[in-house]
Amino acid sequence: MNRSGLLTLVLVVFAPRALPAQVVALAPDRVARIDRFMQQYVDSGQIGGAVGLVLRDGRVVYQHAVGWIDVESRRPMTTDALFRIASQTKALTTVAILSLVEEGKLSVDDPVSRYIPAFAHTTVASGSDTGRVIKPAARRITIRQLLTHTAGISYGTDSLIAPLYAAAGLGPSAGWGWYTADKDEPICATIERLATLPFTAQPGERWVYGYNTDILGCVAERASGVPLDELIRTRITGPLGMHDTYFFVPPAATSRLVTVYASDSANHAHRAPDGPRGQGNYVTGPRRSFAGGAGLVSTAADYARFLEMLLNGGELDGVRILAPHTVDLMTHNQAGTLFDSTGALGFGFGFETTQRYGANGMASVGTFSWGGAYGSAYDVDPVEHLVIVFMMNQLPNRTDIAGKFPTLVYQALVTRHR
């Protein structure tokens, strides 16, 4: 079978919904470039393996696995492989929070202390000639600031505050700062301890990436009265049929969990160590910490389905998760110029937003994007009706494959929505 025939077969198998007659998916000859592009990173030893998935108009137009689930045992990568998605978790926690907003159980302008009293009196650290200075925060942190990462809260790995965070089992003592899967305590216990530590900027004054969405996970638990894993399962993954997305891997699925590799100084991939800075505790471990900022495991297909729901205005296959206006809040810039002083990029509720064409590769204005610490990334382009998902598990990752993958998708897109 030639490549064109194979692509047609993939569309029939994976795409029950009809593609509009005027839309050609991807040019078959240019699709072959994507395959070669991905394979060369495996052949050169830069990565262990990866999965790429593209939807257009809700249909799978590209799905490809390269390399290995585990190099050492020569288990080939599969399209249903499970990846640690790290910060891609943030989008699901954000949707959970906004579903509670829609019910009137909280407001984005509520102070966080309404749900976590320990946040009533937070502090901010700054440097001086005599060392570290800790002062009270000028104002209370709000849920809106957590959603936009403008609360001044980092991951505690910066040298000014790292020793304080390490002593509390956070920052340098939590894997790469964000990791909590090894903790034998509920996430709210961790977050209450975090509230006693100094942050790095005054609330509302800077964009600082950090524990913001983990705090939101605790807020969601307090506002809903149920654990975050149950909240996400009952409100998002269950209704959407995302049966391969969870905080900890079920025993029956462990063979599909991709091994973590790490880039060395020569940009070659080697198996990462066991523990928080490598394979993690997603299979064996306490299974008590449901980290809303970086805790989930998922597949490319599951995550693409979640993104398709957002692209479709909060609904998919007759299941509505959010209202269209709520999705608009998520996917439009809510941070002013705090995220990007030039205004070319913005930050909504959980996503980077493309404000100027060319600021994010070939992505259209209005595209929303993010990724995860293990090297995964995604883009949702509402102009071209595209969902682009790239999954790998490599930490640290010195390759540029995830950044280039969307360009290879756009070069194969020879018809445009206008």
One-letter identity of residue 265 = S
Q: What is the model's pLDDT at position 18?
A: 43
Q: What is the model's pLDDT at position 37?
A: 98
Structure tokens belonging to residue 181: 């899967």
Q: What is the model's pLDDT at position 129?
A: 86
Percent of the chain whose pLDDT exceeds 70: 94
Q: Which residue has the tokens 């950090």?
A: 210
- Cα-atom radius of gyration of the chain, to the nearest Å? 21
Q: Kindly report which listed range (4-13, 40-49, 244-253, 283-292) carries the lowest average pLDDT score.
A: 4-13
Average pLDDT on 404-408 reads 98
Structure tokens belonging to residue 416: 């445009």
pLDDT in tens, 45-90: 999 999 999 999 999 999 999 999 999 999 999 999 999 999 999 9
Instruction: Tell whether the model's pLDDT for residue 3 goes beyond 50.
Output: no
pLDDT in tens, 310-344: 999 999 999 999 999 999 999 999 999 999 999 99
Q: How far apart are CA 95 and CA 41, in angstroms?
A: 34
Q: What is the model's pLDDT at position 44?
A: 98
Q: What is the model's pLDDT at position 415?
A: 87
Q: How far apart are CA 352 and CA 19, in angstroms?
A: 28
pLDDT in tens, 183-220: 999 999 999 999 999 999 999 999 999 999 999 999 99
Distance from the first to the final alpha carbon of the chain: 33
Comparing CA positions, the residue from 287, 332, 290, 306 lying closest to residue 235 is 306
Instruction: Tell whether the model's pLDDT for residue 412 goes beyond 90.
Output: yes
Q: What is the model's pLDDT at position 21?
A: 41
Q: How far apart are CA 395 and CA 408, in angstroms?
A: 23
pLDDT in tens, 284-314: 989 999 999 999 999 999 999 999 999 999 9
DSSP 22-56: T-----HHHHHHHHHHHHHHHHTTS-SEEEEEEEE
pLDDT band at 25 (very low <50, low <70, confident <90, very high): confident
Average pLDDT on 398-409 reads 98
Is there a contact between 291 and 90 (Cβ–Cβ < 8 Å)? Answer: no
Instruction: Tell whether the model's pLDDT for residue 390 goes beyond 80.
Output: yes
Q: Kindly report which listed range (6-15, 145-154, 166-175) carries the lowest average pLDDT score.
A: 6-15
pLDDT band at 130 (very low <50, low <70, confident <90, very high): confident
Q: What is the model's pLDDT at position 17?
A: 47
Q: Do domains 3-82+254-273+296-411 and 91-229 have the same CATH topology?
A: yes
Q: How far apart are CA 84 and CA 257, in angstroms?
A: 8
| pTM for the predicted model, two decimal places | 0.93
The 3-state secondary structure of 380-394, one letter per residue = EECCCCEEEEEECCE
Instruction: Tell whether the model's pLDDT for residue 12 goes beyond 90.
Output: no
Domain ranges within the chain, ordered by starting residue? 3-82+254-273+296-411, 91-229
Comparing CA positions, the residue from 316, 321, 311, 249 lying closest to residue 279 is 249
Q: How far apart are CA 354 and CA 343, in angstroms?
A: 9
Q: Which residue has the tokens 């077969």?
A: 9
Handedness of CA 198, 202, 204, 207 (dihedral sign): negative
Tell me the average pLDDT of the chain.
Answer: 94
pLDDT in tens, 26-40: 999 999 999 999 999
Q: What is the model's pLDDT at position 256?
A: 98
Instruction: Tell whether the model's pLDDT for residue 24 goes beyond 70.
Output: no
199 phi/psi in degrees, rounded to 5 = -100, 180
pLDDT band at 418 (very low <50, low <70, confident <90, very high): low
Q: Report the DSSP pairing between strands 59-70 and 75-76.
A: antiparallel
Q: What is the model's pLDDT at position 417?
A: 77
Is there a contact between 97 and 175 (Cβ–Cβ < 8 Å)? Answer: no
Q: What is the model's pLDDT at position 331?
A: 98
Q: What is the model's pLDDT at position 385?
A: 97
User: Is CATH 3.90.230.10 the right assignment for the domain spanning 91-229?
Assistant: no
Is there a contact between 208 and 201 (Cβ–Cβ < 8 Å)? Answer: yes
Comparing CA positions, the residue from 361, 246, 405, 378 lying closest to residue 311 is 378
User: Is CATH 3.40.50.300 the right assignment for the domain spanning 3-82+254-273+296-411?
Assistant: no
pLDDT band at 8 (very low <50, low <70, confident <90, very high): very low
Q: Which residues contact 390 (CB under 8 A, 6 or more apart)?
A: 50, 51, 52, 53, 300, 376, 377, 378, 401, 402, 405, 406
Is there a contact between 213 and 350 (Cβ–Cβ < 8 Å)? Answer: yes
One-letter identity of residue 61 = V
Q: What is the model's pLDDT at position 230?
A: 98
Q: How far apart are CA 126 and CA 147, in angstroms?
A: 23
| Residue 400 CA from chain centroid, whole number | 18
